[in-house]
C-alpha cells in the first residue's frame, strides 16, 4: 500500500493525528458558542468574549500542562490513546537488533521537551492568533484608506478652530510620549501587515509538506514542531493505558509528600491539591462532553440549514403571450422603429404600460388624452400609464 490506513502498529494513522490536531479548534468553537449563549442572560460574560484568545490560551495552558505531566501527551492526543516519545537515532551494532526497523529508539519525555511542547501547543498558536487579528485590522484600515483616504489627511486642509496651534503647543510631555507610542504601534502593525502573509504561507506550506510526507510514510514526524523537538507520537500500549491511573496517583502522592510546613499545614495543602486535581479531572471530562455535544449540534443544525436553504428548484415560468392586436386597432408597422400612429421614426419613444407597445410621446399622449385607450389593442389606458423610454431598442 502507498500509505498506512489501518490501525495496526505503534505508529498512528494520518486520520488519528488529524483528528487530534483539530480537536482544540472544535473545543474553542464549543466554548465560544456556549459562552455566547450564556452572555445573552449574563452580560458580564461579554468581557470573556472580548478576551477570547487570552481566556482560551490560559485554559489550554492548564490542560496541556496537566496532561503532559501525567500522561506524556497533549490534551487531545491523550483522548485518542496517543503518547509522546523522545525519538533518538540508534546506531545498529553487530549482534544487537534494534527494537524498531528504522533504527529509532523511543524513550520518555524530558522536562525540557515537556516545556517546549507547551510552548508549541499554547504559546505559538496564541501569538499566531493575535498576529492574524492585527493583520485583519491592518487590512481593513488599508482598504478603508484606499476608498476614503487616510484618516489623518482627510481633513488636513480644513481649519476648524483658530486656536488649534495654541492647543498643540500646550501639550504635555505625557501626551507626546503617547503619540510616540501610537506611531510606534502603527509602524509595528504595518510591518505585521506586510510580513504576516509570508509567515502564514510558510507555516501552512511546511505543515502541508509534513502531513503529506507522514501520509506517504516518508517521515515519522507529523508536524514541524514535533520534528524540532525530536518527538514521535505513538500509540499507547494496553499496559500503559492500564498503568496511567496508578502513575497519576503516584505523582500526586509524591507531590503531597514534598509539601513544606507542619503536619496540619500539609493536610490543608494536600486537601487543596486534591480539590484542584478533582476540578481538573471534571473539567477535562466536561470539555470532552462539550466537544461532542457541539459537534452533534453543529451537524444537526447544519443539516437542517441545508434542507431549508436548498429548496426544490423549479424551472422558470414561460413569458406571458404578447397582447393581441384588436381588429379595429391600428396595425403594427413591419419596422419596429416606426411609430404606428404617425408612421415615422419614433421621437421620444414612450410605452403604454397596459399593452407594452411603443409610440412617439407626442402621438400617444394626444391619442390617449382623446380616446382613453391603447391605439393597438384598444385596452383602456390613462395618461398616467404612459412611460418614457430613454433607450429605443
Tell me phi and psi for residue 319, to 5 degrees: -65, 150
Comparison of pLDDT for 266 and 322, the residue scoring more: 322
pLDDT of residue 300: 64
294 in Cβ contact with 300 (< 8 Å): no
Q: Alpha helix (H) ranges present in 216-262?
A: 224-229, 238-257
DSSP, collapsed to helix, strand or coil, labels residue 373 as strand
Q: Quick check: 1 pLDDT over 50?
A: no
Residue 145 CA to residue 158 CA, distance in Å, equals 19
What pLDDT score was predicted for residue 361?
Answer: 92
Q: Which of the residue ranges 79-88, 278-287, 377-386 has the most confident prediction, judged by mean pLDDT?
A: 377-386
The count of residues in the chain is 393
Q: Check if the beta carbon of residue 98 is closer than 8 Å to that of residue 61.
A: no
pLDDT per residue over 349-372, tens digit each? Answer: 999 988 889 999 999 999 999 999
CA 347 to chain centre: 58
Strands 82-89, 104-107: pairing is antiparallel
The pLDDT confidence band at residue 298, using thresholds 50, 70 and 90, is low
DSSP 8-state code for residue 217: T
349: closest CA among 334, 333, 368, 336? 336
Q: Residue 69: its pLDDT value, please? A: 81
Q: What is the mean pLDDT of the chain?
A: 76
What pLDDT, on the 0 to 100 scale, is given for residue 165? 47
Give 310 or 244, the one with higher predicted confidence: 244
Asked if the 325-392 domain carries CATH number 1.10.1200.10, the reply is: no
Q: Which residues pair with 233 in a beta bridge?
A: 84
What's the predicted TM-score (pTM) here? 0.57
Q: Examine the pLDDT at 211 and tell me if it is beyond 70.
A: yes
pLDDT of residue 13: 87
Confidence category of residue 303, pLDDT binned at 50, 70, 90: low
Report the percent of the chain where pLDDT is more than 70. Answer: 67
| Sheet strand arrangement including 82-89 | 104-107, 82-89, 231-235
Tens-place pLDDT, residues 126-170: 999 888 888 888 888 887 777 666 554 443 444 434 444 444 445
Mean pLDDT of 11-39: 83
Q: Most confidently modeled of 153-167, 182-196, 237-251?
A: 182-196
Predicted confidence at residue 190, as pLDDT, reads: 84
Instruction: Return the H-helix or E-strand segment holding 388.
Output: strand 386-388
The reported pLDDT for the residue numbered 95 is 41
* Residue that is written with C-alpha cell 528504522 in the block: 102
Residue 277 pLDDT exceeds 80 = no
| Domain ranges (residues) in the chain | 1-88+108-149+183-257, 325-392
Amino acid at each position: 500500500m502507498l500509505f498506512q490506513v489501518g490501525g495496526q502498529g505503534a505508529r498512528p494513522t494520518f486520520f488519528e493525528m488529524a483528528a487530534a490536531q483539530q480537536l482544540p479548534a472544535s473545543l474553542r468553537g464549543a466554548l465560544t458558542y456556549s459562552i455566547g449563549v450564556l452572555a445573552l442572560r449574563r452580560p458580564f460574560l461579554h468581557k470573556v468574549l472580548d478576551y477570547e484568545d487570552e481566556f482560551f490560551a490560559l485554559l489550554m495552558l492548564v490542560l496541556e500542562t496537566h496532561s503532559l505531566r501525567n500522561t506524556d501527551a497533549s490534551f487531545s492526543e491523550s483522548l485518542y490513546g496517543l503518547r509522546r516519545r523522545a525519538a533518538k537515532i540508534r546506531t545498529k551494532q553487530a549482534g544487537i537488533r534494534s527494537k524498531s526497523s528504522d533504527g529509532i529508539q523511543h524513550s520518555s519525555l524530558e522536562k525540557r521537551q515537556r516545556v517546549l511542547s507547551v510552548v508549541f501547543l499554547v504559546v505559538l498558536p496564541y501569538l499566531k492568533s493575535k498576529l492574524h487579528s492585527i493583520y485583519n485590522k491592518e487590512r481593513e484600515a488599508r482598504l478603508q484608506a484606499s476608498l476614503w483616504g487616510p484618516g489623518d489627511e482627510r481633513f488636513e486642509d480644513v481649519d476648524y478652530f483658530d486656536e488649534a496651534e495654541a492647543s498643540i503647543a500646550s501639550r504635555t510631555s505625557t501626551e507626546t510620549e503617547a503619540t510616540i507610542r501610537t506611531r510606534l504601534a502603527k509602524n509595528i502593525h504595518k510591518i505585521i501587515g506586510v510580513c504576516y502573509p509570508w509567515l502564514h504561507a510558510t507555516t501552512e506550506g511546511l505543515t502541508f509538506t509534513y502531513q503529506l510526507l507522514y501520509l506517504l510514510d516518508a517521515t515519522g514526524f507529523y508536524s514541524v514542531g514535533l520534528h524540532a523537538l525530536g518527538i514521535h507520537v505513538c500509540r499507547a500500549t494496553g499496559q500503559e493505558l492500564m498503568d496511567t491511573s496508578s502513575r497519576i496517583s503516584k505523582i500526586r502522592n509524591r507531590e503531597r509528600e514534598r509539601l513544606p510546613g507542619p503536619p496540619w499545614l500539609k493536610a490543608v495543602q494536600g486537601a487543596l491539591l486534591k480539590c484542584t486535581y478533582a476540578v481538573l479531572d471534571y473539567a477535562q471530562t466536561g470539555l470532552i462532553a462539550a466537544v461532542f455535544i457541539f459537534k452533534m449540534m453543529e451537524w444537526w443544525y447544519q443539516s437542517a440549514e441545508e434542507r431549508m436553504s436548498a429548496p426544490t428548484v423549479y424551472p422558470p415560468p414561460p413569458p406571458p403571450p404578447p397582447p393581441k392586436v384588436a381588429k379595429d386597432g391600428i396595425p403594427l408597422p413591419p419596422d419596429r422603429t416606426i411609430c404606428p400612429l404617425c408612421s415615422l421614426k419614433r421621437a421620444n419613444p414612450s410605452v403604454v404600460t397596459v399593452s407594452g407597445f411603443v409610440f412617439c410621446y407626442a402621438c400617444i399622449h394626444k391619442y390617449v388624452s382623446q380616446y382613453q385607450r391603447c391605439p393597438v389593442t384598444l385596452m383602456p389606458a390613462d395618461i398616467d400609464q404612459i412611460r418614457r423610454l430613454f433607450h429605443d431598442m
